[in-house]
Amino acid sequence: MLIAFLTAHEGVEQVELTEPWQAVKDAGDEPRLISTRPGAVQAFDHLDKADTFPVDQVVADASPDDYAALVLPGGVANPDALRMDENAVAFVKAFFDAGKPVAAICHAPWALVEAGAVRGRTLTSWPSVRTDITNAGGTWVDEEAVVCTAGPNTLITSRRPDDLDAFAKAFTAEFAKAGG
């Protein structure tokens, strides 16, 4: 299965991109990096620049129909930039409209809020995103990984890099169910 990883051109938390990416590969699926601009994505280790990663496709040219699932890595700047990009928001929303699974970690639920995808859903995030989630009609919980099936699709969320193992285990299991 092709799995879309959506990031802005700058600001993704590197470990929240690389560890889920490897989990997708380990599950036998093919990750593809979708971004708001062509070229490369600049990742960060918290506030410090880290590595760059080549973009496979620009979100304006990407179709959710080509992907089985979506992963939204976090970082503070990344989801904030995504929610300001109408193509990125439409891409996220289309996964919900199509009933495809979506996984988001840390600050990434900001993109879910912007896409109108949290009302009636239970999810987790970095603690500072809690108010945005509840104001958008979601229920926030403090758990390392949450799988919510109350809605048009399965939504898998996680709080922070320390939860990456639980996050990867949860989303790869859900992606496998959706793909087969």
pLDDT tens-digit series, residues 34-44: 999 999 999 99
Angle between the N-to-C axes of helices 164-179 and 14-26, in degrees from 0 to 180, rounded to the nearest 10: 40
Pairs from 119-123 (Cβ < 8 Å, separation ≥ 24): 120/150, 120/151, 121/148, 121/150, 121/151, 121/155, 122/146, 122/148, 122/150, 123/148, 123/155, 123/157
pLDDT at res. 179 = 77
Please state the pTM of the whole predicted model: 0.97
DSSP letter string, 14-72 = HHHHHHHHHHHHHTT-EEEEEESSSSEEEEEETTEEEEEEE-SEEGGG--GGG-SEEEE
CATH topology of domain 2-179: Rossmann fold (3.40.50)
pLDDT at 171 > cutoff 70: yes
Percent of the chain with pLDDT over 90: 96
148 included as an active-site residue: no
Catalytic residue among 9, 46, 106, 148: 106
pLDDT at res. 152 = 87
- Domain boundaries of the chain, sorted by first residue: 2-179
pLDDT at res. 77 = 95
Catalytic residue among 9, 46, 107, 148: 107
Question: How many helices (DSSP H) and strands (DSSP E) are in the chain?
Answer: 6, 12
pLDDT at 180 > cutoff 60: no
Q: Kindly report, residue by residue over 89-119, the tens digit of the pLDDT.
A: 999 999 999 999 999 999 999 999 999 999 9
pLDDT at res. 178 = 87
pLDDT at res. 137 = 98
9 included as an active-site residue: no
